[in-house]
């Protein structure tokens, strides 16, 4: 379809649960669970009141599924943000803001977009994250029709590296939402997730298991169905971060095993998405729970070139007819950490 415009129908909800673990029993059984949860702090505690971060240590993270790939054109990886940073990031209002990129502006109301990159940013292999790398990565999404980000390249008529830190995108039509494409989560298809061109060319189809990004942690190893290990990237562009020496991700697909692993201290943090875990943890006095209600989000695309959606009144009618509060039942996602 041509002429698609991305319209948010249901706000993307990041559902986070943080369980601080000491010692204790697994908490009440599922049939003893309460009907309500405290949703007053959906994104965790207030860093300003939690003291000064201490550097060092390795975080052990339990995951409810094995990662699929670290290749940005494939996605489906909840832990990719340990290896990659995005060019833009959504703020708490859902608006794209500069991150690896210093700015993204349009001189002509959305037909041309100019992205300026931060100077001095390097990939984990020492190669520069420059304008050529951005063009290379966006072209991968464009040229691979099955890529998660392929849809977001459709408005692009041309793109070029103006200089080492400047990329210019010429679009087929004015698109005010174009920067959003560089700020979406990895698993949604994100043009802003940039891999090292040298590493992609070296590994080819196997790149997804040998990722090289510019994020806070450098990939070390992946033992299938056992663990994925990353370590702190000393030349990370945000000076003084990250604080941890490394992270070890372990797939734990069984809900009971995953929950018991947190309670017993076998893992420090658990990424999960099941009500049973959330309810039980909220009732355990040894666990501190942060919970955010909501759904994963949905998108609606219109073809502006064909009836009936070539008429803006029809597009508005559809949007007004949808009640986001009734479109999707609430769900949960979880993250746990050791006290």
Total length of the chain = 339
- Which domains are delineated in the chain? 70-217 (3.90.76.10)
Report whether 29 contacts 291 (CB < 8 A): no
d(CA 40, CA 290): 8
d(CA 22, CA 339): 6
Report whether 191 contacts 180 (CB < 8 A): no
**Position of tokens 């210093």?**
102
**44-58, 142-156, 218-232: the lowest-pLDDT one:** 44-58
Does residue 277 or residue 192 have the better pLDDT? 192
Task: Kindly state the average pLDDT of the residues 35-47.
Answer: 76
Per residue in 81-128, pLDDT (tens digit) is: 999 999 999 987 889 999 999 999 999 999 999 999 999 999 999 999
How far from chain centre, in Å, is Cα 93? 16
Mean pLDDT of the chain: 83
d(CA 3, CA 175): 10
Burial class (CB in 10 A: 0-12, 13-18, 19+), 3: middle
Nearest to 79 by CA among 96, 90, 95, 64: 64
Q: Which residues of 297-325 are buried (b: 16+ CB within 10 A; e: fewer)?
A: beeeebebeeeebeeeeebeeeeeeeeee
Does residue 68 or residue 339 have the better pLDDT? 68
CA atoms within 13 A on the CB side of 211: 34
> pTM (2 decimals)?
0.76
- Token digits of residue 230: 């990353």
């Amino acid at each position: 379809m041509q002429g698609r415009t991305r319209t948010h129908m249901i706000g993307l909800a990041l559902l986070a649960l943080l369980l601080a673990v000491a010692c204790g029993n697994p908490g009440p059984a599922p049939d003893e669970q309460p009907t309500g949860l405290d949703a007053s702090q959906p994104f965790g505690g207030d860093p300003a009141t939690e003291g000064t971060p201490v550097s060092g240590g390795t975080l052990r993270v339990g995951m409810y599924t094995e990662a699929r790939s670290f290749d940005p054109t494939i996605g489906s990886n909840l832990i990719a943000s340990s290896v990659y940073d995005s060019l833009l990031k959504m703020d708490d209002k859902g608006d794209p803001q500069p991150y690896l990129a210093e700015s993204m502006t349009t001189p002509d109301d959305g037909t041309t977009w100019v992205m300026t990159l931060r100077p001095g940013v390097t990939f984990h292999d020492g190669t520069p994250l420059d304008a050529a790398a951005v063009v290379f990565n966006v072209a991968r999404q464009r040229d691979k029709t099955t890529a998660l980000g392929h849809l977001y390249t459709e408005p692009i008529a041309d793109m070029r590296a103006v200089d080492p830190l400047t990329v210019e995108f010429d679009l087929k039509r004015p698109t005010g939402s174009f920067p959003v494409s560089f700020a979406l989560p990895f698993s949604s298809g994100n043009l802003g997730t940039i891999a090292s061109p040298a590493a992609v060319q070296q590994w080819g189809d196997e790149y997804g298991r040998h990722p090289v990004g510019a994020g806070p942690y450098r990939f070390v190893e992946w033992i299938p169905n056992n663990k994925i290990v990353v370590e702190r990237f000393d030349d990370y562009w945000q000076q003084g971060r990250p604080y941890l020496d490394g992270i070890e991700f372990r797939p734990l697909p069984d809900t009971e095993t995953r929950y018991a692993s947190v309670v017993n201290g076998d893992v420090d943090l658990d990424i999960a998405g099941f009500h049973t875990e959330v309810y039980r943890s909220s009732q355990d006095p040894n666990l501190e729970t942060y919970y955010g209600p909501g759904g994963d989000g949905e998108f609606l695309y219109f073809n502006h070139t064909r009836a009936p959606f070539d008429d803006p009144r029809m597009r508005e009618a559809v949007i007004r007819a949808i009640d986001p509060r009734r479109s999707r039942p609430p769900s949960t996602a979880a993250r746990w950490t050791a006290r």
